[in-house]
A = this chain, B = another copy of it.
């Protein structure tokens, strides 16, 4: 469930565009006004505001925001205003670039979006970068990481609930054999995790747990420092319980000495319209502190206000 709050009576896109224009003018920028509008509009509404703004003022709202805002607040607003598919394409592209490379973000986008949404990200990637997502991921990775990430980003999983229990048993057995042999990069492990539907994977991993006595991620923790194993465990978590995965990303970002603002911003902007309520529940349960309070004590200023608005704190 989404956390963003949209008011019952939404001003027209023309009014919103005009108010935003005003917020940029005069002495200093009116950040509070920007937040009060943009943090309380859904993706479809933000898209129309962008279009209306471009038609009315002949300028790109994103560019004007870029000029007026700065640092973490700016990044949050820009990511938020982007269309979800464009935003994912942008984040995935950043994650394949040398200085900002991050295999986890690539995996996260591939595993936590629906099959259809992931495909729309691939289309947005073509349009913006004139290359394919898999092309950049394959080019900028190597070894076991490439073996896992390329099939993940190209997957178009079946999304029905149908589960084949015979197959779940036979594939749980395959997984267990390979893991017992420490063949963690075996192509059968990769095949199962990258091609089966999420329902089927869930059934397979439940059977794994029942038949072999451990959750698979426990058996994949032979070396806690191994980066490939960490990514593999995170992949499994994203495929089977994304809200727990995101809770952990938030927890690590907040508990870190010097908050990891990029991770915090990414999770809040990408999940606010999807499953942020569930993530907040998980966060509260796991940390005994509501996410609002954790963000409040870790961030400040307009950045804090924007994040809190997106996770549904206060009224619309």
Decide if B191 touches A126 in the complex (CB within 8 Å): no
Decide if A158 touches B138 in the complex (CB within 8 Å): no
> How many whole Å from A254's CB to the nearest CB in chain B?
36
A224 close to chain B: CB less than 8 A: no
Decide if B151 touches A132 in the complex (CB within 8 Å): no
A59 close to chain B: CB less than 8 A: no
Q: Which chain B residues lie closer than 8 Å to A204 at the CB level?
A: none
Q: Tally chain A residues at the interface, Cβ within 8 Å.
A: 30
A162 close to chain B: CB less than 8 A: yes
A304 close to chain B: CB less than 8 A: no
Instruction: Using A126-B158, A156-B154 as known contacts, say yes or no to A132 and B197 having CB atoms under 8 A apart.
Output: yes
Decide if A130 touches B195 in the complex (CB within 8 Å): no
Contact of A156 among B119, B157, B159, B160 (CB under 8 A): B119
A313 close to chain B: CB less than 8 A: no
Query: Which chain A residues numbered 173 to 210 have a C-beta less than 8 Å away from chain B?
Result: 187, 191, 194-197
Residues of A within 8 A of B (CB): 119, 122-123, 126, 130-135, 138-139, 146-147, 150-151, 154-160, 162, 187, 191, 194-197
